[in-house]
């Protein structure tokens, strides 16, 4: 059974090939969440609409993700992970092509929804493929490959979008996905095992409607905090409706055998600490990549290309952290690494308030590089911990639920950062550097709120993955 599950043990080449295949999908999905931002003015002019209305192109994509991510695990169990992953890549790539040829706002929004459907299946099913291809001892390596695109994508997305829009055409921000998608499809069909669930459970359609509608309304409400398209009262009502639907699903899930989202996963301490406490920390750290480009351009007067080049340096910090993470987890364990990176991450977010228009570019780049290291240490550790102690039969449902919570942490991070900036800047169209500084200082508090959650960890939690045994042995 072990040998059948762990393809990377049968063929060592797959230790690089499978993560590379999944990383392609993750990078495409993460890029598409952010690359559109800098191109919105050009697209609006081309399609004869306003930039404000085109915010719907971002919202539509994220809403579709929120609706369909929860049921991706069921589809993988029922029809096979390889088939669903390849189909998701095909759907996403087709949606990209059709977005590129869109000649109206309606067509663009419809094709963004098609992209979101593909992305909703790619991310959790790709995570499931990694988890079922590596033994527990190799899980850190697998999860760091998975996490890197999530860290790098939001950093390079605005820069790449600006470059393609300026020097080619906004349509190329969609066409650029095509070669990666085709390579991913053929490689997945060639190298990925077609995992199925132990037994085919019936599809929970009522549960899907409740959790899907609840997640969509929650995502829409959060998007409206930072990019309002409805009134404040309507936003409150949308968020209240989402909470009621999700609460109703929580009561409903106790009465059915196989609910759309398996809430019993929260009985596993490593899962709830990694997803909930880790998610809270990620909310605070996800606000900085949103605020920083705005401060550099609006507050300091930099060009989009200069700003994008400086924020891009953070991805090198993430790359540096990948090979070091195994050492830190083995030496200190999950509890110390997660708590320490939350404290240092909070200080690092607050430190952006020390930057000014007179700060040398090399100093800004160096600081962004440092922040990239800290941010990736937190992301990779919490993602790895979430799945470290789960039994194999829980993995497909765990990747679906984990995908929803990860998506919400990104959205909440941006929305809260936008809300805080709006509060400190008032009705001012262009916030000052000082107002950006206050926004960084206030959002820096959020990672500290996650630390009590990390203190619930026991020494043995994630030990099979981290290799950290010193404290456990001392207690014995």
CATH of the domain at 373: 1.20.1250.20
Could you tell me the residue range of the domain that residue 401 belongs to?
Answer: 262-476
**Which is nearest to 378 in space by CA: 277, 265, 289, 255?**
277
Distance between CA atoms of residues 151 and 140, nearest Å? 16
Asked if 168 and 214 sit in the same domain, the reply is no
**What does 378-435 look like in DSSP terms, one character per residue?**
HHHHHHHHHHHT--GGGHHHHHHHHHHHHHHHHHHHHHHHHHHHHHHHTT-SS--HHH
Asked if 247 and 321 sit in the same domain, the reply is no
Asked if 174 and 231 sit in the same domain, the reply is no
Q: Contact 383/326 with Cβ under 8 angstroms? A: no
Q: What's the token pair of residue 461?
A: 């939690």
At 472 the pLDDT is: 45
Domains identified in the chain, total number: 3
Contacts for 53 with CB less than 8 Å, ≥ 6 apart: 44, 105
Question: How does pLDDT run across 128-165, given as a tens digit for each residue?
Answer: 888 888 887 777 777 776 666 766 666 677 677 777 87
Which of 203, 220, 239 is where one domain is finished?
203
**Which is nearest to 387 in space by CA: 120, 89, 194, 144?**
144
Asked if 31 and 173 sit in the same domain, the reply is yes
Question: How does pLDDT run across 360-390, given as a tens digit for each residue?
Answer: 999 999 999 999 899 989 998 998 899 888 8
Asked if 209 and 199 sit in the same domain, the reply is no
At 82 the pLDDT is: 92
Mean pLDDT of the 194-203 span: 73
- φ, ψ of residue 460 to 5 degrees: the values are -80, -10
Q: Contact 288/368 with Cβ under 8 angstroms? A: no
At 3 the pLDDT is: 43
Greatest Cα pair distance, the chain, in angstroms, is 70
- φ, ψ of residue 208 to 5 degrees: the values are -60, -40
Asked if 222 and 266 sit in the same domain, the reply is no
Q: Per DSSP, which regions of 13-141 are E strands? A: none
Asked if 421 and 382 sit in the same domain, the reply is yes
Predicted TM-score of the model (pTM): 0.77
pLDDT band at residue 1 using 50, 70 and 90 as cut-offs: very low
Q: Contact 157/68 with Cβ under 8 angstroms? A: no
Q: How many CA atoms lie within 13 A of 117 on its CB side?
A: 14
pLDDT surpasses 90 at 341: yes
Tell me how far apart the terminal alpha carbons of the chain are, to the nearest angstrom.
32
């Amino acid at each position: 059974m072990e040998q059948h599950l762990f393809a990377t043990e049968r063929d060592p080449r797959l230790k690089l090939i499978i993560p590379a295949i999944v990383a392609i999908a993750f990078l495409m999905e993460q890029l598409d969440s952010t690359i559109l931002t800098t191109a919105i003015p050009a697209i609006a002019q081309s399609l004869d609409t306003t930039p404000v209305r085109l915010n719907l192109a971002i919202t539509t994509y994220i809403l579709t993700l929120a609706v369909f991510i929860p049921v991706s695990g069921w589809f993988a169990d029922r029809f096979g992970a390889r088939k669903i992953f390849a189909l998701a890549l095909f759907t996403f790539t087709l949606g990209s092509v059709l977005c590129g040829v869109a000649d109206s706002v309606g067509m663009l929004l419809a094709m963004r929804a098609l992209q979101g459907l593909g992305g909703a299946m790619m991310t959790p099913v790709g995570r499931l493929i990694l988890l079922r291809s590596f033994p527990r001892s190799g899980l850190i390596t697998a999860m760091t490959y998975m996490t890197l695109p999530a860290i790098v994508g939001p950093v390079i997305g605005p820069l790449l979008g600006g470059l393609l829009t300026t020097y080619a055409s906004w349509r190329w921000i969609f066409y650029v996905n095509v070669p990666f998608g085709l390579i991913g499809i053929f490689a997945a069909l060639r190298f990925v095992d077609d995992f199925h669930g132990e037994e085919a459970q019936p599809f929970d359609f009522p549960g899907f409607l409740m959790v899907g509608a609840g997640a969509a309304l929650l995502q829409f409400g959060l998007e409206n905090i930072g990019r309002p398209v409805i009134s404040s009262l309507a936003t409150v009502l949308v968020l209240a409706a989402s909470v009621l639907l999700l609460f109703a699903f929580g009561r409903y899930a106790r009465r059915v055998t196989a609910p759309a989202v398996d809430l019993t996963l929260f009985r596993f301490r490593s899962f709830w600490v990694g997803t909930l406490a880790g998610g809270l920390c990620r909310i605070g750290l996800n606000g900085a990549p949103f605020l920083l480009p705005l401060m550099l351009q609006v507050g300091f007067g930099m060009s989009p290309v200069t700003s994008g080049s400086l924020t891009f340096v953070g991805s090198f910090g993430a790359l540096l952290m990948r090979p070091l993470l195994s050492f830190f987890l083995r030496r200190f364990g999950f509890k110390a690494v997660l708590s320490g990176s939350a404290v240092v991450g909070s200080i690092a977010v607050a430190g952006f308030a020390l930057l000014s228009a007179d700060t040398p570019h090399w100093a800004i780049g160096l600081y962004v590089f440092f922040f990239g290291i800290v941010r990736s240490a937190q992301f990779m550790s919490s993602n790895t911990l979430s799945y470290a102690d789960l039994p194999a039969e829980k993995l497909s449902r765990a990747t679906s639920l984990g995908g929803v919570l990860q998506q919400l942490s990104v959205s909440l991070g941006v929305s809260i950062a936008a809300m805080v900036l709006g509060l400190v800047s008032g009705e001012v169209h262009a916030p000052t550097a000082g107002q950006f500084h206050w926004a960084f200082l206030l959002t820096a508090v959020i990672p500290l709120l996650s630390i009590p959650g990390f203190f619930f960890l026991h020494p043995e939690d994630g030990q099979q993955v981290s290799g950290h045994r010193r404290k456990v042995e001392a207690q014995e």
